[in-house]
Amino acid sequence: MVFDATAGLPESRRRSLIDRITRHAEPYLYTAPALILIVTIMLAPLVLGLSYAFRDVQLLNPFSGGYVGLDHFRTLYDDDNFYRALRNTLWWTGASVFLQFVFGLILALLLDRPFAGRAIAQALVFLPWAVPTFLTGLNWAWLLNPVIGPLPHWLYALGLMSEPANILSNPQLAMWGPIIANVWWGIPFFAITLLAALQAIPRDLYEAAAIDGAGAVKRFTSITLPFLAPTIAITVLLRTVWISNFADLIIVMTNGGPADRTQIVASYIFTQAFRALDFGYASAIALVLLVLLLAYSMLIVMLRQVLMDRA
Protein backbone atom coordinates (compact mmCIF):
# COMPACT_ATOMS: atom_id res chain seq x y z
CA MET A 1 0.00 0.00 0.00
CA VAL A 2 1.32 3.45 -0.90
CA PHE A 3 1.19 6.05 1.81
CA ASP A 4 0.12 9.48 0.75
CA ALA A 5 0.79 12.27 3.22
CA THR A 6 -2.23 14.16 2.07
CA ALA A 7 -4.40 11.08 1.84
CA GLY A 8 -6.11 12.01 5.07
CA LEU A 9 -7.22 15.34 3.68
CA PRO A 10 -10.38 15.48 1.71
CA GLU A 11 -9.82 15.96 -2.03
CA SER A 12 -11.30 19.43 -2.05
CA ARG A 13 -8.99 20.82 0.66
CA ARG A 14 -5.90 19.47 -1.08
CA ARG A 15 -6.91 21.24 -4.25
CA SER A 16 -7.62 24.46 -2.47
CA LEU A 17 -4.08 24.45 -0.99
CA ILE A 18 -2.51 24.29 -4.45
CA ASP A 19 -5.00 26.86 -5.62
CA ARG A 20 -4.03 29.19 -2.81
CA ILE A 21 -0.31 28.89 -3.62
CA THR A 22 -0.84 29.57 -7.32
CA ARG A 23 -3.19 32.41 -6.50
CA HIS A 24 -0.56 34.05 -4.33
CA ALA A 25 2.23 33.51 -6.85
CA GLU A 26 0.18 34.61 -9.85
CA PRO A 27 0.67 38.41 -9.74
CA TYR A 28 4.40 37.93 -9.23
CA LEU A 29 4.63 35.64 -12.25
CA TYR A 30 2.92 38.29 -14.39
CA THR A 31 5.22 41.09 -13.22
CA ALA A 32 8.51 39.18 -12.89
CA PRO A 33 9.87 39.63 -16.46
CA ALA A 34 9.24 43.38 -16.45
CA LEU A 35 10.67 43.76 -12.96
CA ILE A 36 13.83 41.75 -13.72
CA LEU A 37 14.54 43.83 -16.83
CA ILE A 38 13.99 47.13 -15.04
CA VAL A 39 16.22 46.12 -12.14
CA THR A 40 19.11 44.81 -14.29
CA ILE A 41 19.06 47.37 -17.11
CA MET A 42 17.99 50.51 -15.26
CA LEU A 43 18.39 50.20 -11.50
CA ALA A 44 21.76 48.38 -11.47
CA PRO A 45 23.39 50.84 -13.93
CA LEU A 46 21.93 53.72 -11.92
CA VAL A 47 23.66 52.44 -8.77
CA LEU A 48 26.84 51.71 -10.73
CA GLY A 49 26.69 55.23 -12.19
CA LEU A 50 26.37 56.71 -8.71
CA SER A 51 29.53 54.84 -7.69
CA TYR A 52 31.40 56.11 -10.79
CA ALA A 53 30.85 59.64 -9.54
CA PHE A 54 33.36 58.90 -6.76
CA ARG A 55 35.82 56.94 -8.90
CA ASP A 56 38.26 57.70 -11.69
CA VAL A 57 36.71 55.83 -14.62
CA GLN A 58 38.18 56.51 -18.06
CA LEU A 59 37.36 54.13 -20.85
CA LEU A 60 40.72 54.16 -22.62
CA ASN A 61 42.86 54.19 -19.48
CA PRO A 62 43.29 50.64 -18.08
CA PHE A 63 44.86 52.00 -14.84
CA SER A 64 41.80 54.06 -14.00
CA GLY A 65 39.04 52.85 -11.70
CA GLY A 66 40.44 53.95 -8.34
CA TYR A 67 38.43 55.69 -5.66
CA VAL A 68 38.89 59.47 -5.81
CA GLY A 69 36.42 60.63 -3.17
CA LEU A 70 34.93 64.04 -3.92
CA ASP A 71 37.56 65.07 -6.48
CA HIS A 72 35.07 65.15 -9.36
CA PHE A 73 32.78 67.40 -7.38
CA ARG A 74 35.67 69.76 -6.56
CA THR A 75 36.48 69.98 -10.28
CA LEU A 76 32.81 70.51 -11.01
CA TYR A 77 32.61 73.32 -8.45
CA ASP A 78 35.17 75.30 -10.46
CA ASP A 79 33.95 74.23 -13.90
CA ASP A 80 32.65 77.32 -15.72
CA ASN A 81 31.36 75.14 -18.54
CA PHE A 82 29.08 73.40 -16.06
CA TYR A 83 27.57 76.65 -14.78
CA ARG A 84 27.03 77.86 -18.32
CA ALA A 85 25.36 74.53 -19.13
CA LEU A 86 23.16 74.90 -16.05
CA ARG A 87 22.01 78.39 -17.11
CA ASN A 88 21.40 77.13 -20.64
CA THR A 89 19.35 74.22 -19.24
CA LEU A 90 17.07 76.64 -17.38
CA TRP A 91 16.53 78.74 -20.48
CA TRP A 92 16.07 75.73 -22.78
CA THR A 93 13.64 73.96 -20.44
CA GLY A 94 11.67 77.04 -19.42
CA ALA A 95 11.11 78.32 -22.94
CA SER A 96 10.37 74.87 -24.39
CA VAL A 97 7.89 73.77 -21.72
CA PHE A 98 6.10 77.13 -21.65
CA LEU A 99 5.63 77.34 -25.43
CA GLN A 100 4.70 73.66 -25.81
CA PHE A 101 2.15 73.93 -23.04
CA VAL A 102 0.49 77.14 -24.25
CA PHE A 103 0.23 76.03 -27.88
CA GLY A 104 -0.71 72.48 -26.84
CA LEU A 105 -3.56 73.74 -24.63
CA ILE A 106 -4.90 76.00 -27.40
CA LEU A 107 -4.78 73.08 -29.85
CA ALA A 108 -6.58 70.76 -27.42
CA LEU A 109 -9.35 73.35 -26.91
CA LEU A 110 -9.68 73.78 -30.69
CA LEU A 111 -9.94 70.03 -31.22
CA ASP A 112 -12.42 69.53 -28.39
CA ARG A 113 -15.06 71.27 -30.55
CA PRO A 114 -16.74 68.98 -33.09
CA PHE A 115 -16.30 70.01 -36.73
CA ALA A 116 -16.30 68.32 -40.13
CA GLY A 117 -12.97 66.64 -40.81
CA ARG A 118 -11.88 66.64 -37.18
CA ALA A 119 -10.46 63.10 -37.30
CA ILE A 120 -8.16 63.87 -40.22
CA ALA A 121 -7.16 67.29 -38.82
CA GLN A 122 -6.30 65.64 -35.50
CA ALA A 123 -4.16 62.96 -37.15
CA LEU A 124 -2.26 65.61 -39.16
CA VAL A 125 -1.57 68.08 -36.34
CA PHE A 126 -0.37 65.24 -34.10
CA LEU A 127 1.97 63.94 -36.80
CA PRO A 128 5.15 65.78 -35.61
CA TRP A 129 5.16 63.60 -32.51
CA ALA A 130 5.76 60.55 -34.69
CA VAL A 131 8.77 62.13 -36.37
CA PRO A 132 11.93 60.62 -34.86
CA THR A 133 13.73 63.24 -32.78
CA PHE A 134 16.99 63.00 -34.71
CA LEU A 135 15.05 63.68 -37.88
CA THR A 136 13.21 66.57 -36.24
CA GLY A 137 16.59 68.07 -35.37
CA LEU A 138 18.02 67.57 -38.85
CA ASN A 139 14.82 68.81 -40.50
CA TRP A 140 14.86 72.09 -38.57
CA ALA A 141 18.60 72.47 -39.01
CA TRP A 142 18.00 72.26 -42.76
CA LEU A 143 15.06 74.68 -42.66
CA LEU A 144 17.26 77.20 -40.84
CA ASN A 145 20.16 76.71 -43.22
CA PRO A 146 20.23 79.57 -45.77
CA VAL A 147 21.71 77.29 -48.45
CA ILE A 148 18.81 74.86 -48.48
CA GLY A 149 16.04 76.19 -46.22
CA PRO A 150 13.49 78.96 -46.70
CA LEU A 151 13.35 80.37 -43.15
CA PRO A 152 16.40 82.69 -43.30
CA HIS A 153 15.12 84.12 -46.60
CA TRP A 154 11.68 84.73 -45.14
CA LEU A 155 13.12 86.41 -42.06
CA TYR A 156 15.27 88.55 -44.37
CA ALA A 157 12.26 89.46 -46.51
CA LEU A 158 10.35 90.48 -43.38
CA GLY A 159 13.25 92.74 -42.43
CA LEU A 160 14.05 90.76 -39.28
CA MET A 161 17.51 89.89 -40.59
CA SER A 162 20.04 92.06 -42.37
CA GLU A 163 21.04 89.10 -44.57
CA PRO A 164 19.80 85.49 -44.88
CA ALA A 165 22.00 83.94 -42.17
CA ASN A 166 21.87 80.77 -40.14
CA ILE A 167 20.70 81.48 -36.59
CA LEU A 168 22.33 78.22 -35.47
CA SER A 169 25.76 79.76 -36.02
CA ASN A 170 24.87 82.98 -34.20
CA PRO A 171 25.84 82.66 -30.51
CA GLN A 172 23.10 85.07 -29.43
CA LEU A 173 20.28 83.27 -31.23
CA ALA A 174 21.46 79.66 -31.61
CA MET A 175 19.38 78.31 -28.71
CA TRP A 176 16.18 79.33 -30.51
CA GLY A 177 16.85 76.69 -33.18
CA PRO A 178 16.57 73.66 -30.88
CA ILE A 179 13.77 75.37 -28.92
CA ILE A 180 11.62 75.84 -32.05
CA ALA A 181 12.30 72.24 -33.10
CA ASN A 182 11.37 71.05 -29.61
CA VAL A 183 8.16 73.08 -29.55
CA TRP A 184 7.18 71.76 -32.99
CA TRP A 185 7.79 68.22 -31.85
CA GLY A 186 6.27 68.54 -28.34
CA ILE A 187 2.98 70.41 -28.94
CA PRO A 188 1.14 67.14 -29.79
CA PHE A 189 2.10 65.58 -26.45
CA PHE A 190 0.36 68.33 -24.47
CA ALA A 191 -2.50 68.45 -26.97
CA ILE A 192 -3.11 64.67 -26.75
CA THR A 193 -3.07 64.47 -22.95
CA LEU A 194 -5.08 67.66 -22.46
CA LEU A 195 -7.60 66.63 -25.13
CA ALA A 196 -8.08 63.30 -23.35
CA ALA A 197 -8.68 65.17 -20.09
CA LEU A 198 -11.07 67.63 -21.79
CA GLN A 199 -13.14 64.81 -23.25
CA ALA A 200 -13.55 63.32 -19.78
CA ILE A 201 -15.33 66.47 -18.49
CA PRO A 202 -19.10 65.77 -18.19
CA ARG A 203 -20.90 67.82 -20.88
CA ASP A 204 -23.97 68.53 -18.75
CA LEU A 205 -21.84 70.73 -16.47
CA TYR A 206 -21.42 73.19 -19.34
CA GLU A 207 -25.13 73.09 -20.16
CA ALA A 208 -26.06 73.74 -16.54
CA ALA A 209 -23.59 76.62 -16.37
CA ALA A 210 -24.92 78.08 -19.64
CA ILE A 211 -28.49 77.93 -18.26
CA ASP A 212 -27.27 79.74 -15.16
CA GLY A 213 -26.02 82.47 -17.49
CA ALA A 214 -22.27 81.84 -17.24
CA GLY A 215 -20.33 83.25 -20.22
CA ALA A 216 -17.64 81.42 -22.16
CA VAL A 217 -14.79 82.89 -20.08
CA LYS A 218 -16.56 82.09 -16.82
CA ARG A 219 -17.24 78.53 -17.98
CA PHE A 220 -13.57 78.11 -18.91
CA THR A 221 -12.21 79.37 -15.60
CA SER A 222 -14.73 77.66 -13.32
CA ILE A 223 -15.26 74.32 -15.10
CA THR A 224 -12.52 73.60 -17.65
CA LEU A 225 -9.47 74.80 -15.73
CA PRO A 226 -10.27 73.06 -12.40
CA PHE A 227 -10.93 69.81 -14.26
CA LEU A 228 -7.70 70.13 -16.23
CA ALA A 229 -5.56 71.18 -13.26
CA PRO A 230 -4.42 67.68 -12.16
CA THR A 231 -3.49 66.74 -15.75
CA ILE A 232 -1.71 70.07 -16.25
CA ALA A 233 0.28 69.62 -13.02
CA ILE A 234 1.45 66.11 -13.84
CA THR A 235 2.22 66.75 -17.53
CA VAL A 236 4.12 69.98 -16.85
CA LEU A 237 6.12 68.25 -14.10
CA LEU A 238 6.96 65.26 -16.30
CA ARG A 239 7.80 67.38 -19.34
CA THR A 240 10.05 69.71 -17.34
CA VAL A 241 12.08 66.79 -16.02
CA TRP A 242 12.07 65.15 -19.39
CA ILE A 243 13.06 68.19 -21.45
CA SER A 244 15.89 69.15 -19.12
CA ASN A 245 17.29 65.67 -19.78
CA PHE A 246 16.61 65.82 -23.49
CA ALA A 247 19.90 66.22 -25.34
CA ASP A 248 19.08 64.66 -28.74
CA LEU A 249 17.93 67.81 -30.53
CA ILE A 250 20.88 69.85 -29.29
CA ILE A 251 23.42 67.17 -30.17
CA VAL A 252 21.97 66.85 -33.67
CA MET A 253 21.45 70.56 -34.40
CA THR A 254 24.35 72.41 -32.78
CA ASN A 255 26.36 69.88 -30.79
CA GLY A 256 26.48 72.42 -28.00
CA GLY A 257 27.99 75.16 -30.16
CA PRO A 258 28.59 77.86 -31.22
CA ALA A 259 31.01 78.65 -28.40
CA ASP A 260 29.09 76.32 -26.03
CA ARG A 261 26.09 78.67 -26.15
CA THR A 262 23.64 75.77 -26.55
CA GLN A 263 25.40 73.26 -24.29
CA ILE A 264 22.90 72.05 -21.68
CA VAL A 265 23.78 69.81 -18.72
CA ALA A 266 22.44 66.67 -20.41
CA SER A 267 24.43 67.24 -23.61
CA TYR A 268 27.50 68.13 -21.49
CA ILE A 269 27.19 64.75 -19.71
CA PHE A 270 26.91 63.00 -23.05
CA THR A 271 29.89 64.90 -24.46
CA GLN A 272 32.02 63.96 -21.44
CA ALA A 273 31.04 60.29 -21.72
CA PHE A 274 31.04 59.96 -25.50
CA ARG A 275 33.84 62.25 -26.68
CA ALA A 276 36.12 62.59 -23.64
CA LEU A 277 35.32 58.99 -22.53
CA ASP A 278 35.58 60.28 -18.94
CA PHE A 279 32.81 58.20 -17.37
CA GLY A 280 33.70 59.24 -13.82
CA TYR A 281 33.30 62.97 -14.40
CA ALA A 282 30.20 62.41 -16.57
CA SER A 283 28.59 60.44 -13.74
CA ALA A 284 29.42 63.16 -11.21
CA ILE A 285 27.64 65.78 -13.37
CA ALA A 286 24.73 63.36 -13.84
CA LEU A 287 24.45 62.93 -10.06
CA VAL A 288 24.22 66.69 -9.58
CA LEU A 289 21.56 66.90 -12.30
CA LEU A 290 19.60 64.08 -10.65
CA VAL A 291 19.68 65.83 -7.25
CA LEU A 292 18.51 69.11 -8.82
CA LEU A 293 15.64 67.38 -10.63
CA LEU A 294 14.57 65.51 -7.50
CA ALA A 295 14.59 68.78 -5.55
CA TYR A 296 12.46 70.39 -8.27
CA SER A 297 9.96 67.49 -8.26
CA MET A 298 9.66 67.56 -4.45
CA LEU A 299 9.09 71.30 -4.57
CA ILE A 300 6.26 70.94 -7.10
CA VAL A 301 4.65 68.08 -5.17
CA MET A 302 4.80 70.08 -1.93
CA LEU A 303 3.46 73.19 -3.64
CA ARG A 304 0.56 71.16 -5.01
CA GLN A 305 -0.16 69.79 -1.54
CA VAL A 306 -0.20 73.28 -0.02
CA LEU A 307 -2.53 74.53 -2.76
CA MET A 308 -4.85 71.56 -2.32
CA ASP A 309 -4.96 71.97 1.46
CA ARG A 310 -5.89 75.59 1.03
CA ALA A 311 -8.63 74.82 -1.50
Partner 1 sequence: MNRYSILGTALHRLAILCYMGFALFPLFWLLKVSVTPNDLLYSEGVRMWPSRMSFEHFRFVLAHSAFPVFFRNSMIVAGATAAIVTLLASLSGYALSRFTFRGKYWLVALMLLTQMFPLVMLVAPIFKMLSPLGLTNSLTGLVVVYTAFNIPFATFLMQSFFDGIPKELEEAAKIDGATQFMAFRQIILPLTLPGIAATLGFVFTAAWSELLFALMLISGNSAATFPVGLLTFVSKFSVDFGQMMAAGVLALIPACLFFLFIQRYLVQGLTAGAVKG
Query: Which residues inside 50-109 make contact with partner 1, applying CB under 8 A?
Result: 52, 57, 59, 106-107
Among 231, 233, 236, 300, binds partner 1 (CB under 8 A): 231
Binder of partner 1 out of 161, 167, 168, 197 (CB under 8 A)? 197
User: Which range binds partner 1 by CB under 8 A, 69-77, 132-140, 168-176, 205-213?
Assistant: 132-140
Task: Give me the least distance between CB of 287 and partner 1, in Å please.
Answer: 8
Asked if 289 touches partner 1 (CB under 8 A), the answer is: yes
Work out how close the CB of 74 gets to partner 1 at its nearest, in angstroms, rounded to a whole number.
Answer: 20
Smaller CB separation from partner 1, 4 or 118: 118
Considering the complex, state which of residue 32 and residue 307 has its C-beta at the smaller distance from partner 1: 32
Stretch that binds partner 1, among 10-18, 218-226, 244-252, 303-311 (CB under 8 A): 244-252
130 binds partner 1 per the rule CB under 8 A: yes
* Contacts with partner 1, 142-161, as mask; x by CB under 8 A: xx---xxxx--x--------
Residue closest to 304 by CA, chosen among 228, 200, 229, 223: 229
